[in-house]
Amino acid sequence: MLEAHDLACLKGDRLLFRGLALRLQAGGLLRVAGPNGVGKTSLLRLVTGLALPETGEVRWRGVGIRRDREALHRELLYLGHAPALNDLLTPLENLRFACAAAGDDADEQSCVTALARIGLENQLDLPARVLSQGQRRRVGLARLFLSARRPLWVLDEPFTALDAAAVAELATTLSDHCDAGGMVMLTTHQDAPFARAPEVLDVGGYAC
């Protein structure tokens, strides 16, 4: 489904990695591993089409994403390192905007439900600037419940700043998504309690 071959990533004038190949089938859970600065986030950005590889190609359902970016973006949910929250808006406004901007139909009620499910029912009307790091992260993650129909989830450090209970819950959500035929690609330094062990792609092995 999601394939990439011979990927090379140039950051500034430094080649981060080259010759990287990956393959993610329906139901697959891929953990991108490697030490800091090896290019994990850069790899995720290449896969989402936010950045272009120096060599090689990323293919989604057999078609290169440079040729048909929209096809990938219709089925992709990417949560980057920054939680995409505006400090002046409430979590509810942020979440509704994120869904509408992505092209998902999410009414107010389903957004409230998603935020309650992720443990923010008391923070619905607070401006995002008063939220803690973990709570900010949760607002972003609430999109997982609203975008379940998007098969490919690409998550950059989703477990950062979450407490133990939330980590376990998120791991369950991700496992469930894979069991339902979805695909998850994520970076993390934590050992998350997944139902089954994820495949591991060590970017360090392709470092230059």
Partner 1 sequence: MLSAFLAVLRRDLLLAWRGRADVLVTLAFFVIVVCLFPFGVGAETNLLRTIAPGVLWVAALLACLLSLHRLFAQDHGDGTLEQLLLSSEPAVLWVTAKVLAFWLTTGLPVVAVAPVLGMLLDLEQGAYPVLVISLALGTPILALLGAVGAALTLGLRGGGMLLALLVLPLFVPVLIFGAGAVEAELSGTGATAHLLLLGGGLAGALALAPWACAAALRVSTE
- The nearer residue to partner 1, 15 or 172, going by C-beta atoms, is 15
Q: Which is nearer to partner 1, 153 or 175 (CB)?
A: 153
Answer positive or negative: Cα dihedral of 105, 107, 108, 111. negative
Binding positions for partner 1, 44-63, rule CB under 8 A: 45, 48-52
Our finding on whether 103 is near partner 1 (CB under 8 A) is yes
Q: How far is CA 111 from CA 21, 97, 117, 146, 194, in A?
A: 37, 10, 10, 7, 26
Q: How far is CA 165 from the centre of its chain?
A: 20
**How far, in Å, CA of 70 to CA of 19, rounded?**
26
How distant is the alpha carbon of residue 189 from its chain centre?
Answer: 15
Segments in 49-163 forming alpha helices (H): 69-74, 91-102, 108-117, 133-141, 143-146
Among 12, 36, 105, 122, binds partner 1 (CB under 8 A): 105
Instruction: Tell me if 58 sits within 8 A of 82, measured CB to CB.
Output: no
Footprint of partner 1 on 83-102 (CB under 8 A): 83-89, 93, 96-98, 100-102
- Give the per-residue contact string, 6-45, with partner 1 (x = CB under 8 A; - = no): ---------------------------------------x
Count of residues engaged in binding partner 1, rule: CB under 8 A: 30
- Name the residue nearer to partner 1 (CB basis): 46 or 112: 46
Residue written as token pair 């590889």: 53
Nearer to partner 1, 76 or 120 (CB): 76
Contact code string over 154-173 relative to partner 1, x by CB under 8 A: --------------------
Q: Minimal distance in Å, beta carbon 75 to partner 1?
A: 8
Instruction: Give 149's contacts (C-beta < 8 A, 6+ positions apart).
Output: none
Q: Which residues bind partner 1 (CB under 8 A)?
A: 45, 48-52, 70, 73-74, 76, 78, 80-89, 93, 96-98, 100-103, 105
